[in-house]
């Protein structure tokens, strides 16, 4: 069997490579996405006081520090055995919305738009954010400002200095003043306008690119996300887990995240440092599920804000019910960006967040706790055990990208099988499509490198005996 290797995969957050296995008939037989970096992060937290975890995790992952910060603070709430004051919860929510907004903006405008705006087969040297700036300066500028707005939300809520440990076990350290809230509210109209532009663009793209929707990871899988306990609506910070299948049937509902172990098991793969979680009752790999924007929109009943709910209805119509194509992640992110602007507005105008009570104090009351929240890329779990004094004795984290691992393999296999008919002559644009299949999931090889953008692409065709048959570099 021959093997084609794409290493490293460009324009994703982190370092990874793709291997394409060529069967005897000369067609692609299988595909694997491997993460080639190992951080061993869970190990080196052991022995530290649990209160340090929010800042430790936020510092180690440079891509979605806020997600880890919030999830870790929530886990800390559990160790303390407290419920944070309502102001703290809403402030944390607001920050998470800022994080989702900036991350989705990055994914669309910086990482994916080169393929969509300039074309998969456009010259690789220009197929990047700079090429987009040249060809579509207004859109590119708006995208950069949108991301900036999301970052502003994070920075302004977190105090003047960007504090790695703004969210702490029990609540948050500081609450923003009236003026800060007003400043942020002032930025919402422009942000919303940009999101609408992006939405319109993606919809139009989908109308004219049925092939991509059909081929980029269009396959059944389970979906998992947090939902509000009351009405099973869209949720990103608290709530219960819901799992649905590719037909929309609810497979498991109202799961307390603390019980995740009963529902989710993790498979360790020999060729990747990414752990592959799966839904236990269905086993491995049938229990593969997807998380992130696509899953959140698939499992929820509604978003509960007028603009986003209207888009959600259209999203479902376009998908024909359940969105099973990974290509629709792009649209899902745009819908979520709209939801973020609406929910942010709601929180920032809520008098409750002005309360001066935003941190509950307590000692170690539980020796084990699980925290769960929705990172931009999907459900994130932190699970800590501590000794009676609060020193960590074990740390387990389940990250969004890991949960999408199995579906990602499936997605790239599907794309490669469709586009690569002749493994002897592979046009560069086809390999780019394979990469784009990964980019749909916007993987954060969390706790990985910070590089994205201009990495060289190295492609190798390796024969059965391991010999390099052909090699291409860009």
Interface ranges with other proteins (CB under 8 A): 47-49, 51-52, 54-56, 59, 163-165, 168-169, 173, 361, 363, 389-391
Q: Which is nearer to other proteins, 362 or 468 (CB)?
A: 362
Q: Which is nearer to other proteins, 352 or 387 (CB)?
A: 387
Q: Which is nearer to other proteins, 283 or 363 (CB)?
A: 363
Instruction: For residue 102, give the nearest of 375, 312, 350, 300 by alpha carbon.
Output: 375
Task: Quickly tell me which residue has 């190295």 as its tokens.
Answer: 458
CB of 79 to other proteins, least distance (A): 11
Q: Look at the chain and count its residues.
A: 474
Q: Which is nearer to other proteins, 65 or 114 (CB)?
A: 65
* Pairwise CA distance, residues 98 & 153, whole Å: 5
Identify the three-state secondary structure at position 4.
Answer: strand
The residues, ordered by sequence, that sit 6+ positions from 244 with a Cβ below 8 Å of its Cβ are: 222, 223, 250, 251, 298, 299, 322
16, 119, 426 from 444: Cα distances, Å: 10, 23, 27
Q: Which is nearer to other proteins, 270 or 389 (CB)?
A: 389
Instruction: For residue 411, give the nearest of 266, 294, 263 by alpha carbon.
Output: 294
Q: Which is nearer to other proteins, 80 or 198 (CB)?
A: 80
Number of CB atoms found within 10 A of residue 449's CB: 16
Task: Quickly tell me which residue has 């008919």 as its tokens.
Answer: 421
Q: Which is nearer to other proteins, 53 or 226 (CB)?
A: 53
CA angle (346, 162, 448) in 5-degree steps: 100
CB of 47 to other proteins, least distance (A): 7
CB of 41 to other proteins, least distance (A): 13
DSSP string computed for 434-449: HHHHHHHT--B-SSS-
* Pairwise CA distance, residues 255 & 259, whole Å: 7
CB of 351 to other proteins, least distance (A): 27
CB of 75 to other proteins, least distance (A): 14
Number of CB atoms found within 10 A of residue 77's CB: 24
CB of 51 to other proteins, least distance (A): 5
Q: Which two tokens stand for residue 80?
A: 């303390």
* H/E stretch holding 251: strand 250-255
CB of 59 to other proteins, least distance (A): 5
Q: Which is nearer to other proteins, 168 or 400 (CB)?
A: 168
CB of 361 to other proteins, least distance (A): 7
CB of 387 to other proteins, least distance (A): 9
Q: What are phi and psi of 311, to 5 degrees?
A: -70, -35
Measure CA 3 to chain center: 29
Q: Which is nearer to other proteins, 389 or 473 (CB)?
A: 389
Number of CB atoms found within 10 A of residue 234's CB: 27
CB of 161 to other proteins, least distance (A): 8
Q: Which is nearer to other proteins, 82 or 406 (CB)?
A: 82
* Pairwise CA distance, residues 291 & 305, whole Å: 22
């Amino acid at each position: 069997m021959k093997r084609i290797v794409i290493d490293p995969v460009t324009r994703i957050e982190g370092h990874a490579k793709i291997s394409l296995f060529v069967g005897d008939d000369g067609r692609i037989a299988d595909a694997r996405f491997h993460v080639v970096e190992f951080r061993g992060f869970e190990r080196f937290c052991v022995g530290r006081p649990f209160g340090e975890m929010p800042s430790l995790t936020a510092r180690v992952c440079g891509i979605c520090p806020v997600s880890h910060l919030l999830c870790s603070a929530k886990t800390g709430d559990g160790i303390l055995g407290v419920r944070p004051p309502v102001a703290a919860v809403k402030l944390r929510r607001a920050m998470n919305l800022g994080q989702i907004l900036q991350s989705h903006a990055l994914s669309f405008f910086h990482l994916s738009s080169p393929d969509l705006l300039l074309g998969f087969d456009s010259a690789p040297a220009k197929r990047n954010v700079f090429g987009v700036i040249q060809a579509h300066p207004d859109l590119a500028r708006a995208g950069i400002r949108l991301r900036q707005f999301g970052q502003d939300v994070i920075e302004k809520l977190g105090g003047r200095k960007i504090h790695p440990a703004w969210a702490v076990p029990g609540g948050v350290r500081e609450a923003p003043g009236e003026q800060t809230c007003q400043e942020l509210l002032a930025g919402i109209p422009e942000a919303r306008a940009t999101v609408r532009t992006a939405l319109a663009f993606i919809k139009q793209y989908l109308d004219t690119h049925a092939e991509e929707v059909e081929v980029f990871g269009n396959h059944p899988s389970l979906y998992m996300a947090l939902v509000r306990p009351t009405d099973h609506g869209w949720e990103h910070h608290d709530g219960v887990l819901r799992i649905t299948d590719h037909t929309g049937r609810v497979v498991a509902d109202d799961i307390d995240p603390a019980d995740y172990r009963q529902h989710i098991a993790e498979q360790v793969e020999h060729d990747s440092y990414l752990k592959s979680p799966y839904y236990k009752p269905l086993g491995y790999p049938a229990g593969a599920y997807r998380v992130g924007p696509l899953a959140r929109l698939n499992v929820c009943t509604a978003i509960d804000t007028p603009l986003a709910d209207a888009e959600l209805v259209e999203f479902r119509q376009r998908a024909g019910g359940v969105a099973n194509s990974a290509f629709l992640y792009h649209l899902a992110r745009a819908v979520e960006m709209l939801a973020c602007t609406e929910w942010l507005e709601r929180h920032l105008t809520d008098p409750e967040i002005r309360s001066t009570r935003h941190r509950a104090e307590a000692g170690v009351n539980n020796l084990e706790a699980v925290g769960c929240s929705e990172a931009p890329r999907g459900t994130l779990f932190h699970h800590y055990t501590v000794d009676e004094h609060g020193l960590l004795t074990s740390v387990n984290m389940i990250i969004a990208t890991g949960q999408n691992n199995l579906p990602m393999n499936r997605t790239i296999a599907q794309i490669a099988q469709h586009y690569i008919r002749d493994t002897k002559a592979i046009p560069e644009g086809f390999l780019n499509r394979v990469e784009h299949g990964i980019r749909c999931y916007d993987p954060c090889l969390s706790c990985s490198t910070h590089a994205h953008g201009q990495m060289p692409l190295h492609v190798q065709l390796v024969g059965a005996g391991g010999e390099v048959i052909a090699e291409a570099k860009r």
